[in-house]
Amino acid sequence: MRRAARRLLWSAFVVWAVVSIVFVVDAWLPGDPARFAAGPQARPADVARIREELGLNRPPLVRYARLWRRLLHVGPRTAGEGAAADRAHATCVDVLPLGAIAVHVDLGRSFQYRQPVARLVAARAPRSLALAAAGLALQLGAGLAVGVLCATRRGSWIDRAFGFVTPLGLSVPMFFSGLLFQYLFAYEWRLLPFDGFGVTLADHLRGLVLPALTLGIYGAAYYARLVRDELRAILPEDWVRTARAKGASGRRVLARHALRNALVPVATAVGLDLGVLFGGSIVTETVFRWPGLGDLSVKAAVNRDGPVIVGCVVVTSIAVVASNLAVDLLCARLDPRLR
Amino acid sequence: MREPGRPKDPCDANARATSGVTAVVLAVAAAAAIALPLGCRGPLAPPVPAAHDPEVAPRRGGTLRLASMGDPRSLDPAGPSDALALQAQQLLFAGLVDFDASARIVPDLAERWTVEDGGRTYRFFLRPGVLMHDGTELTADDVKRSAERSLHPATPNPNASAFRGLAGFGAFVSGRADHLVGVAVDGKYEVSFHLDDPDASFLSILAMHTLRPVCRSAGTRYDDAWAPCGAGPFRLPPGGWRRGISLRLVRHEGYFRPGLPYLDAVEWTFDAPVTAQLFRFEDGALDVLRDMSQPTQARFLADPRWRGLGVAEADRTVFGESMNTRMPPFDNVEIRRAVAAAIDREHYRMLKPAYMSTLTQPLPPAMPGRDPSVRGQSYDYAAALDHMRKAGYPYDPVTGTGGWPRPVVYPLYDQGLLAYTAQVLAQELARIGIRLELRMVSWSAFLALQQREGGAAMSQANWEMDYPDPSSVLDPLFGSASIGPESSYNTAFYANPAVDDRLIRARREADPARRMALYGEASRIICDEAPWAFVYAYHAYDVHQPYVRDLAPHAAWGLDVVHAFVDRAGGDLPRHLGSPLP
């Protein structure tokens, strides 16, 4: 219990540190966010007015204090029946309704989109999560299958083919494999939509296939290599031979003993990957016009949209920390020595 | 049985070497197999044929499908703007006056106007019976309400100060007055604009989108959540704008020009990469291709099947090498003249010939009233060397000695064309003894350096005319009033009382010929003193399918969509590519 509490505190510290660093860097970067919000040809008087309107005239420390003061707070409900149109909470999103009041998340208002950042992030996070989950599922499914196959058939033609297919999978950049899939599946064979998110659930699912495949091919090669190498190291171990000598079938030895141990580093990698993928598969989202957090983050960085940058970092840092926490728990379950 | 996990013969080095070579060969073959479909796709797909001969009369119906790499920032004429937003706003909102295809001011919502009080009052008489998208009739009250909403201090309007000449503007934007006295309702269909001083460019400024009337649902104050609604030829249906994804506008059946527009709808797909746009266009899922790479454009130009299906839009953007007249070495006018004479503009143009035209004076070719007699700047290597000598830094091209003794830092950001033009410039200036140190920075850092006093000695600057009038280019770029310590429009920090005098007099001059003559004089002085070396003007180049008819360039707004129509054989093809639109 104490260990879990310590981990939670440490996680909170990591999120605070990451967000603070990003805030400071954004505040110190050269360039005027008001100029970006107004446009390169806006007149100086108009830029000054817009700077005032966006609150950029306030000192960075005041803005920093506001960020943390407003990040999580309690206020009147802003959505649903009986919601109050309170201007003080115009940029808030309810995360926990408690009768007439609610716990709010407030990440400020985007300079470029002129919408509450919390709403922008809330709309895009599920899309990134869906893409990350689908991509990771493909990576793991294909990676595990190929890795196990190669490790158990060492020296076979499968194993040798693997030797040149995995470097290819790892080295072909995602923007290229994405374009290739677009060309083949959408342009030539007309099986799937070119890109985009669509309107209906069916559109979303169809639109998800190619970006998930692009992510999947890349990661599958990595996971296959990881699983193969781990299993190769484990299979000659004495305890594996002992299990086999005690009469356990080859499949049982592989599944219950060898693979379980090989999955510890895989789980660690998955935890790291999930957080990063959730933060946005920037290239994939751009190539396939998948409106997720990666796409939002890139545009925010280009346009000096500070509130969106910070909002995306808050969400992704929480995602990375949470997935790492989950992985630690999972690893402890897989390997009792880690408890 | 062989033990799993053991190689057959780990000591067989020969076999391992052979296997390595095989792997490399296989890997190269696989990479080639992957690359071939994309890299060597063969000829372009043929155009999708039209249903009728080119002479067919315009017909109603159909949807025009467009795409862009960008994403409009706002559809509200009072809000933040960009080139893409302007295209959509032009279809959603009609103004009292507008520009025709050749950039002349023409009546729009106002059927006529008068200029009174020595050019200080503009009185407009609205067309009766004009219906807004919400079905209400446009009145003079709507014009005043829309103007006050747009110019209110809480509105994030980047063009508000273009209207600073309106009477009472200062009091209104500073919050000292509740209403803008410069806009007066004189009757249900009569509205007048009162200026502090005569301004001959006022009609052009008014033709911008900023003050175009908006529906009563917009209220009196700007609101980000407002659904755009105006009196333009197209309206926004519910859910028509999905930010960052798509925009669909449908015909406004109550549009005041009978029979127009012909199209049922115009659709944009946003954030579409160039390759995806090309695939869509070749497939017939996109009707106009605007964003394309240089090789793709060359393929379209070389393909006889696509001949005659390209539209070059007007040159509305000027590009130049801005020289900070307050920083060495460009505080020396002879050095600036040397730079202006050392640049062979044709070298720039060859980088992207279908999009660029050489520029020798500040006004772009599409500018009405541009004085063709202005000789401007031109390439003259001997003269450039002579100017370097007069500046006190003679350069000997034979020995490569002399010239400006220190490198000049030239900031640039990661934008394809700029990376090329910067290298061209560096080579041109090296020939007169000026060495450039190209320094790549972020876009935000670039703007900060360029627009800050003492930030950058030299940088590339560009300007797209806000409206087709010389004042929209010369005043912001070369008037001393545009100089500021930060966010300076006038990136050369160039101040010349003679130029200021011409610009102020031209603004007040009612006679068009005399006015243009004053702008010609200002242009001559600017070309001679060379705060910029003018290098090229840029225009967009579009390719469209043959069934897109009467899609013509518009000098102010890019393309004229209102008079375009679709004559596609078999009607609209089913969409199998891309995300469906609502």
Per-residue pLDDT of chain B (582 residues; tens, 9 = 90+): 333 333 333 334 444 444 445 555 555 555 555 555 555 556 888 998 898 888 889 999 899 999 999 889 899 999 988 889 999 999 999 999 999 988 899 999 999 999 999 999 999 999 999 999 999 999 999 999 999 999 999 999 999 999 999 999 999 999 999 999 999 999 999 999 999 999 999 999 999 999 999 999 999 999 988 999 999 999 999 999 988 889 999 999 999 999 999 999 999 999 888 888 998 898 888 999 999 888 898 899 999 999 989 999 989 899 999 999 999 999 999 999 999 999 999 999 999 888 999 999 999 988 887 888 888 999 999 999 999 999 999 999 999 999 999 999 999 998 778 999 999 999 999 999 999 999 999 888 898 899 998 999 999 999 999 899 999 999 999 999 999 887 788 999 999 999 999 999 999 999 999 999 999 999 999 999 999 999 999 999 999 999 999 999 998 888 999 999 999 876 555 444 443 333
Please give the pLDDT value at position B6. Answer: 35
Enumerate the residues of chain A whose CB falls inside 8 A of the CB of residue B153: 49
Average pLDDT, chain A: 86
Please give the pLDDT value at position B581. Answer: 35
Measured between CB atoms, which of A43, A163, A183 is closest to B37? A183
Measured between CB atoms, which of B5, B26, B162 is closest to A235? B5
Calpha distance A21→A32 (Å, rounded): 19
Q: Are B147 and B273 in contact (CB under 8 A)?
A: no
pLDDT tens digits for range A174-208? 888 898 998 899 888 888 888 888 878 888 999 99
Copy the structure tokens of residue B41: 């796709």
Please give the pLDDT value at position B2. Answer: 36
Closest CA to B205 of B163, B157, B164: B163
Minimal C-alpha gap between A12 and chain B (Å): 32
Please count the residue pairs, one from chain A and one from chain B, whose beta carbons lie less than 8 angstroms apart.
186
* 3-class SS of residue B438: strand
* 3-class SS of residue B575: coil
Contact B579 A197 (CB under 8 A): yes
Closest residue on chain A to B466 (Cα): A41
Q: Which of residues 10-39 of A touch B (CB under 8 A)?
A: 29-32, 35-39
Please give the pLDDT value at position B19. Answer: 47
Is A195 an 8 Å CB contact of chain B?
yes
Higher pLDDT, A98 or B171: B171
Calpha distance A118→A312 (Å, rounded): 9
- A241-250, A253-262, A330-339, B124-133, range with the lowest pLDDT: A330-339
Residue type (1 letter), A210: L
Measured between CB atoms, which of B8, B30, B244 is closest to A155? B8
Is A46 an 8 Å CB contact of chain B?
yes
Closest residue on chain B to A42 (Cα): B158
Contact B157 A46 (CB under 8 A): yes
Minimal C-alpha gap between A5 and chain B (Å): 41
Measured between CB atoms, which of B4, B6, B73 is closest to A152? B4
Calpha distance A91→A114 (Å, rounded): 10
Burial tier of B173 (Cβ tally within 10 Å: 0-12, 13-18, 19+): buried
* 3-class SS of residue A237: coil
Q: Are B356 and B536 in contact (CB under 8 A)?
A: yes
Enumerate the residues of chain B whose CB falls inside 8 A of the CB of residue A291: 244-245, 271
Measured between CB atoms, which of A54, A112, A287 is closest to B73? A112
Question: Averaged over A209-233, what is the pLDDT?
Answer: 89
Measured between CB atoms, which of A31, A114, A167 is closest to B447? A31
Calpha distance B366→B553 (Å, rounded): 11
pTM: 0.84
Contact B576 A190 (CB under 8 A): yes
Minimal C-alpha gap between A335 and chain B (Å): 23
Please give the pLDDT value at position B429. Answer: 98
Enumerate the residues of chain B whose CB falls inside 8 A of the CB of residue A37: 80, 156
Minimal C-alpha gap between A280 and chain B (Å): 16
Contact A151 B577 (CB under 8 A): no
Contact B488 A44 (CB under 8 A): yes
Q: Are B74 and B80 in contact (CB under 8 A)?
A: yes
Measured between CB atoms, which of B160, B444, B484 is closest to A36? B444
Is A2 an 8 Å CB contact of chain B?
no
Closest residue on chain B to A50 (Cα): B156
Minimal C-alpha gap between B224 and chain A (Å): 7
Contact B23 A163 (CB under 8 A): yes
Contact B162 A30 (CB under 8 A): no
Minimal C-alpha gap between B17 and chain A (Å): 13
Q: Which of B2, B74, B279 best probes binding to A when mutated, by most A CB atoms within 10 angstroms?
A: B279
Asked if pLDDT for residue A21 goes beyond 90, the answer is yes
Q: Are B340 and B377 in contact (CB under 8 A)?
A: yes
Minimal C-alpha gap between B234 and chain A (Å): 23
Q: Which of residues 209-268 of A touch B (CB under 8 A)?
A: 232, 235-236
Q: Which of A187, A244, A290 best probes binding to B when mutated, by most B CB atoms within 10 angstroms?
A: A187
Higher pLDDT, A235 or B359: B359
Cα–Cα–Cα angle for A69, A75, A80, rounded to 5 degrees: 135
**Helix A2-28 and helix A306-334: axis angle, to 10°?**
150
Is A186 an 8 Å CB contact of chain B?
yes
Please give the pLDDT value at position B41. Answer: 58
Enumerate the residues of chain B whose CB falls inside 8 A of the CB of residue A172: 31, 34
Enumerate the residues of chain A whose CB falls inside 8 A of the CB of residue B151: none
Measured between CB atoms, which of A46, A235, A302 is closest to B4? A235
With b for 16 or more beta-carbon neighbours within 10 A and e for fewer, the B59-77 pattern comes to: eeebbbbbbbebbbbbbbb
Asked if pLDDT for residue A134 goes beyond 80, the answer is yes
Per-residue pLDDT band at A67 (split at 50, 70, 90): very high
Enumerate the residues of chain B whose CB falls inside 8 A of the CB of residue A54: 156
Contact B445 A168 (CB under 8 A): no
Is A201 an 8 Å CB contact of chain B?
no
Please give the pLDDT value at position B409. Answer: 96
- Report the half-sphere exposure of B498 (CA within 13 A, side-chain side): 9
Helices (H) and strands (E) in chain A, counts: 14, 3
Is A205 an 8 Å CB contact of chain B?
no
Please give the pLDDT value at position A29. Answer: 82
Closest residue on chain A to B486 (Cα): A44
- Residue entry with tokens 């007048």: B192
Enumerate the residues of chain A whose CB falls inside 8 A of the CB of residue B157: 46
Please give the pLDDT value at position B29. Answer: 56
Please give the pLDDT value at position B375. Answer: 86
